[in-house]
Structure 1
Amino acid sequence: MTSGTLLLAKAHYPVTTLGPGTRAGIWTQGCTLHCHGCLSRDTWDADPARAVPVEAVLGWLASLPGPVDGITISGGEPFQQPEALAALVRGIRAWRDGLDHETIALDILVYSGYVYSRLTRSGESREILDMCDAVITGPYVDRLNPGGRQSQGGSLLWRGSANQRVVPLSALGRERYGALADIGKTGEGTGPQVQVSVDEGPEGRRVYYIGIPRRGDMEHLTSRLYRAGVRSGDVSWRP
């Protein structure tokens, strides 16, 4: 894998559930962490046949109609493609530098299943972090997800489980993510948010759920849809 190509699982706009404002979402493909309860098992396997040029992803970003308040990169595990991730983030920053800064403040947020201390021990990862505005780190731990309808606590907002850490990395990151930087805090009065995307492809229609649901929410949704006569096929959150 060269720095010019990215194993891409999906790109979507608009995303309103993984960071502040209206965002572009980029999901990488390939993850060996295999967190129990992961909702994105479909991104675990790396398929080199689905590699795309980083320039194509940057071209897609530049073609978006707006508004774009930020870019969210998730996976998969983005940091398992460090050269491609660095090229992508570097390209996003170059594109951002050409925008009208008086009207647009666009942040770069990256999700990683690695803990922050591990990322900072790698020179490649540190270089990427230096180019980002915020990172959300740590493996998904199912028992530390607040749970479904029975949960009485606050929402973790853009985190899947309470162990995950929000780390602002720039002045813009501190402005937008600083209030969530304490991993013990939850978003008071803010419930989990999930949006639905329907894509038509050569394999037929696929429904994507984008966001951070509470533990048990997806099974509850599947049950509700089944009772309404909607049958789901393979789903990414089941083994």
Structure 2
Amino acid sequence: MNAGGGASVRLAKLHHPVTALGPGTRAGIWFQGCTLACPGCLSRDTWEADESLRIPVSSVLEWVAGLPGLDGVTISGGEPFQQPQALRELLEGLREWRSSRPVDILVYSGYVISRLSRNQESRDILKLCDAVVTGPYVERLNDGSPLRGSANQQLVPLSPLGRRRYGSDEMDGRRMQVCVEDGAEGRRVYYIGIPRRGDMDRLSAVLDGAGVRAGEASWRL
């Protein structure tokens, strides 16, 4: 898989398989760093522009290339469009790699589509996506739609593959994945997906009932 011009990216995490953010079995890529700071954001741990989390885009592409049976790649954050060079090179590498298979690319952004469309750099990036979900998260407008966090956000198909897979916002309701990761600082529990209002407190209560004691919760920071 071609790594483009050798850019690096601040990366929060990689995960496979992802089944909660788009159709089928997906690779999930979360950028690190976001200045939008939407109230109620689940991923507050991805806001800080932590340079210690920077890795080569080529490493991310190699990781994706080694995954079996992918239907798509979902890129979120953090705010991907705040690292435009890294995002563009990642998307170019993904599109080159998936040229012989129907793997769609879905990107989440807190910027509205009209703002992204006004900027040439962002327009060039949009041409490399199959679909985008755009707009800031507004907690009081969290309406339970499958792929949008709140009703003000837009799901915008951008390619023939994107229109086939995202032309309708109809999926089997929202899904949440609970993931457990062992690390140097102990066991970490994290969630993938878009929670409904109150879901995080309910999930914490279930974990407490199972004897899993949560430490610092990023969505409460």
How high is the TM-score relative to the length of structure 2? Answer: 0.94
Which residue identity lines up with residue 84 of structure 2 in the other structure? P
Match of 1:105 in 2: 102
Q: Which residue of 2 aligns with 1:149?
A: none
Which residue of the partner structure matches residue 118 of structure 1?
115
Partner of 2:57: 54
Q: Is the 8 A contact 1:3 1:83 kept in 2?
A: no
How far 1:207 moved relative to its partner?
A: 1.1
Letter in 1 for 2:166: Y
Secondary structure, counterpart of 1:135 in structure 2: strand
State how far apart, in whole Å, the 2-side matches of 1:96 and 1:229 are.
43
| 1:142 partner amino acid | E
| Structure 2 equivalent of residue 178 of structure 1 | 167
Q: CA deviation at 1:224?
A: 2.6
CA distance in 2, matches of 1:230, 1:202: 18
8 Å contact 1:58–1:91 — kept in the other structure?
yes
The correspondence for 1:10, drawn from 8, 13, 28, is: 13
Matched, 1:162 2:151: yes
SS of the aligned residue for 2:108 comes to strand
Task: Confirm or deny: 8 A CA contact 1:166 1:177 kept in the other structure.
Answer: yes
Q: CA deviation at 1:3?
A: 6.2
- 2:13 alignment partner AA: K
Distance 2:210 2:58 in 1: 43
Question: Could you tell me whether the CA contact under 8 Å between 2:6 and 2:58 is conserved in 1?
Answer: no
Q: Which of residues 128, 137, 141 in structure 1 aligns to 2:138?
A: 141
The answer to whether the 8 Å contact 1:133/1:169 transfers is yes
Give the counterpart letter for 1:130 in structure 2: K
Identify if the C-alpha distance between structure 1 residues 125 and 90 changes in structure 2 by more than 3 Å, giving closer, same or farther: same
Q: Which residue in 2 is equivalent to 1:195?
A: 177
What is the distance in 2 between the residues matched to 1:225 and 1:48? 32
Q: What value does the CA root-mean-square deviation take over the aligned residues?
A: 1.4
Show structure 2 runs of 5+ residues with no match: none
* Residue 33 (str. 1) matches residue 56 (str. 2): no
Whether the 8 Å CA contact 1:138–1:163 is kept in 2: the answer is yes
Q: Which of 92, 95, 98 in structure 1 is aligned with 2:97?
A: 95
